[in-house]
Amino acid sequence: IEQKTTLKPKVAIVLGSGLNSLADELQKPCVIAYKELPHFVVSTAPGHQGNLIFGYLDDVPVLCMQGRLHVYEGYSLETITYPIRVMAALGIEKLILSNAAGGIDIDFAVGDLMIISDHINFMGRNPLIGANETEFGPRFNDMTFAYDRELRGLAHQTAEELGIKLQEGVYLACTGPSYETPAEIRMFRSWGANAVGMSTVPEVIVAAHCGLKVLAISCISNMAAGILDQPLTEEEVLA
Ligand code: HPA
């Protein structure tokens, strides 16, 4: 990667479902396809491309992951979080993750943005299982401050300045690919989850392990199963 670009960004952005177009706004882009990179796998999810893009957003050098990898594609948590460790090795310090999520909180509306304050890992697995790679982080890593308070505060302050309504809440991750059942959503609400999705949590665990500061934002693309008397569709999520 360092042979292909001289840019040394400190900020990386992982673009979620339907949010890939931000990458088109990067100035002086240097595009590296995942398939050119050893150990990277291609993303097969709808609306996800497979590129690392280096460039400038408002004069700030950034690295964008255009197209993320999901457990439901059949990849292990280790495989889908490998790019996070590559980012850490490249000198990234702050990681911004976005995703599309179902709103569990009935005070949310479709189109709301939710800053993730914390998460519930309902994927049944942890990407750090196995021999610990001590050069990245400790065997048992803290998750108390995984969602950086300072970055969340900055996001709220910026949203206020720009007149953007922001929610904040707990994101619960399932593997998918089925959407949840109404009974699961009722259970998740009683557990304190505000939104549900199929990504982000593995990346945040690995990012926290290697000391990256994380800001994660869910776009509430639909109300979660059973809240409205209608089925969930992929088209609605991408729209
Ligand atoms: N459930 C799980 N993942 C999602 C949803 C949902 O309702 N919406 C977007 N991603």
C-alpha to C-alpha distance for 41 and 74, rounded to whole angstroms: 11
Instruction: Verify whether ligand 1 is closer than 6 Å to residue 179 (CB atom).
Output: yes
**Atom from ligand 1 closest to the CA of residue 197:** 3
Strand partners, 125: none
CA of 4 to the centre of ligand 1 (A): 36
C-alpha to C-alpha distance for 156 and 140, rounded to whole angstroms: 31
C-alpha to C-alpha distance for 149 and 239, rounded to whole angstroms: 30
**Atom from ligand 1 closest to the CA of residue 225:** 7
Report which residue type is found at 153.
Answer: G
CA of 174 to the centre of ligand 1 (A): 9
DSSP letters of 107-129?
Answer: T--TT-EEEEEEEEE-SS--TT-
Each residue's pLDDT, cut to its tens digit, for the chain (239 residues) gives 999 999 999 999 998 867 788 888 999 999 999 999 999 998 777 666 889 999 999 999 999 998 888 999 999 999 999 999 999 999 999 999 999 999 999 999 999 999 999 999 999 999 999 999 999 999 999 999 999 999 999 999 999 999 999 999 999 999 999 999 999 999 999 999 999 999 999 999 999 999 999 999 999 999 999 999 889 988 888 88
CA of 150 to the centre of ligand 1 (A): 27
Would you say 92 and 12 are in contact if contact means Cβ atoms under 8 Å apart? Answer: yes
Q: Sign of the C-alpha dihedral, residues 215, 220, 225, 226?
A: positive
The predicted model scores a pTM of 0.95
The torsion angles phi and psi of 113, rounded to 5 degrees, stand at -105, 135
